[in-house]
Structures are given as structure tokens and as C-alpha cells.
């Protein structure tokens, strides 16, 4: 879309502006309209704040070994939330219309493998609607009717069905894709597997450093562990990139002019945790947006100071 400028009087000239590139934290998944919401998530694990290095420190008394693992894993399932509303002069009319739309939609999505049991209907609100009746120079507020809002929470394990569900929803005037959440079924198994691998690598680092410095470990080690699950909604960003022009007016001529600004497209993209600095990254080339798991294990070994 081009920027249109209309001048009524006076001299003007167009100045070439700099390329505008604005990058800020965003959010999205497959995406859901929450991408336009609050960008300030309270996440302790995002690409900016995670440390990108492992640590080994040794002195006369203690050897400290830190190892870090990153696992990129596809989601086992998705929970999509769709929103819809209905207006009518009566509550009964609202309820009848919205329930008919929901029933038709639920029947339709059986064609993409979504059963009725996989859909939960969440009643959101029932409110009065007011409008104004204007008579000559008087505007009087009047009751117009009622509005009912409901959300449909749909669970599916098939990522390819998400767009099909959205397309079918539009046939019933359900256009609000509120969010799409990701989940894995085996988080405990993932945690255990990463922990065991971290122990093996920590042991290998310990042996290497003890051999290099001619030291010996005594007693039992102590450890601290940190396990984080990073969901896609905290890892999206947004930017706008475009070139534009400016108008410079002739200040000797004070006649007004109209300046129409074109809409600039906003782009969202997934920016997961960087693999830099990890001791091991599992599935580093995974292209499908999924869930990321971070395991950090720090071991403290006592050193025999008698030798």
C-alpha cells in the first residue's frame, strides 16, 4: 500500500526517510489473537535472560562443575480457545442462536477427527446491551437487548487439524482465535532423562579436571538443579520494516494540507532460546515450533587437601 499525500497550497518537497525497523517482545503460538495482547510476560526463561555458558571452577577446596542441556521437542497436543458471541432482544433468543451455532460447529469438526468430548463450552458472560434513541436535540439511552459470550476450548493431537478447525469455525461466524496452548504428555520422563544425562557429563568433566590438576575427590558431592519449560508464547517477537517519506511545508504559506498515512504491516516471528553455550542441544534443527526444556545441573565436589 502506498502513502498518499494531498497538498492544497504552498510549496512542498518529499524527503527520503530512513529505514524504520522496530523490534519488540511479542507473543504468539499458532498464533491466536493473543499475539496482539500484553507483551510483558513474567517468564524467567527467555532467550535474553538465560545464561549462555557453562561453568567449571576449581580452588584448593572445591571443584564446581556446571552443565547445561537444551531439548527442543514437538508438542504432543494442542488446546485451542475460540470465542464467539450472540445478540438478541431476549436472553432466550441469544441462548438459542449461540447454542445452534456451537452445535453445528461441533458436528462439523468431526470431519477432521475432533470428537464432541474434546470440546468444552465455557460460558463467559450474559450482559445487557444499551443504545441511544435520538429525537431532535435529545439522546436518550435505552435497553436494546442482551449479549451472551462463550468460549470453545478444543483439544487435539494433530497439528495439521488446527487450521482446518479455524476454517470450519468461520462457517459459523466464529472468528476469534483467542489462543493455542502447547503441551507434552511426558514432562516427568523428559526431566528424568535430562537429569541423568547431566549427571554423566558432570562426572566426565570432574574426572578430566581432577586428572589435569592432580587432585582427588573426597566425601559426597552436593548439587543444585534447575529445570525450565519454555512455551512458544514467550518466545515470539514482532517488527515493522518500511521506508517512508516526510512532508516539509512552506511556513510562509499557512494554508492547511491533508496528510494520509498508510497502514504499515506488522510481522511476528518465533525466536526460541539460542543453542549457544549449551553443553548439549537435542534436536537442534527442529523447524516445527514446539516446547523447549532447559536443564542446568551444578555439582560441588570436595577436594582432598592432604596431597
DSSP string, 135-148: ETTEEEEEEEEEEE
What is the per-residue pLDDT for 252?
61
What is the per-residue pLDDT for 33?
54
- Cell 462457517 locates to 171
Query: How far is the C-alpha of 30 from the C-alpha of 22, rounded, in Å?
Result: 22
Q: How is the chain split into domains, by residue range?
A: 18-75+185-250+263-303, 77-183
For the stretch 89-127, pLDDT in tens is: 999 999 999 999 999 999 999 999 999 999 999 999 999
Give me the CATH topology for the region 77-183.
Alpha-Beta Plaits (3.30.70)
Low-confidence stretches of the chain (pLDDT < 70) are 1-56, 58-60, 247-258, 307
Kindly report the CA angle at 96 between 92 and 98, in degrees rounded to 5? 120
Amino acid at each position: 500500500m502506498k502513502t498518499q499525500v494531498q497538498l492544497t497550497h504552498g510549496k512542498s518537497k518529499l524527503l527520503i526517510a530512513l529505514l524504520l525497523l522496530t523490534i519488540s517482545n511479542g507473543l504468539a503460538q499458532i498464533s491466536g489473537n493473543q499475539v496482539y495482547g500484553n507483551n510483558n510476560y513474567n517468564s524467567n526463561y527467555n532467550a535474553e535472560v538465560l545464561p549462555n555458558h557453562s561453568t567449571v571452577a576449581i580452588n584448593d577446596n572445591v571443584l564446581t562443575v556446571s552443565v547445561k542441556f537444551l531439548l527442543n521437542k514437538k508438542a504432543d497436543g494442542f488446546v485451542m480457545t475460540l470465542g464467539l458471541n450472540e445478540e438478541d432482544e431476549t436472553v432466550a433468543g441469544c441462548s438459542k442462536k449461540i447454542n445452534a451455532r456451537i452445535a453445528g460447529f461441533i458436528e462439523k469438526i468431526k470431519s477432521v477427527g475432533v470428537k464432541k468430548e474434546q470440546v468444552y463450552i465455557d460460558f463467559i458472560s450474559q450482559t445487557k446491551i444499551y443504545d441511544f434513541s435520538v429525537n431532535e436535540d435529545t439522546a436518550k439511552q435505552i435497553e436494546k437487548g442482551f449479549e451472551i459470550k462463550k468460549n470453545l476450548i478444543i483439544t487435539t493431537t494433530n497439528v495439521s487439524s488446527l487450521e482446518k478447525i479455524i476454517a470450519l469455525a468461520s462457517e459459523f461466524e466464529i472468528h476469534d482465535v483467542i489462543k493455542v496452548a502447547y503441551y507434552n504428555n511426558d514432562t516427568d520422563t523428559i526431566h528424568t532423562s535430562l537429569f541423568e544425562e547431566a549427571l554423566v557429563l558432570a562426572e566426565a568433566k570432574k574426572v578430566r579436571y581432577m586428572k589435569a590438576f592432580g587432585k582427588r575427590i573426597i566425601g559426597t558431592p552436593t548439587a543444585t538443579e534447575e529445570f525450565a519449560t519454555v512455551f512458544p508464547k514467550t518466545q515470539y517477537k514482532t517488527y515493522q520494516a518500511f521506508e517512508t517519506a516526510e512532508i516539509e511545508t512552506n511556513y510562509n504559506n499557512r494554508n492547511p494540507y491533508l496528510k494520509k498515512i498508510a497502514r504499515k504491516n506488522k510481522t511476528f516471528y518465533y525466536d526460541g532460546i539460542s543453542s549457544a553455550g549449551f553443553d548439549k542441544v537435542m534436536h537442534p534443527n527442529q523447524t516445527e515450533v514446539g516446547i523447549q526444556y532447559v536443564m542446568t545441573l551444578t555439582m560441588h565436589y570436595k577436594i582432598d587437601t592432604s596431597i
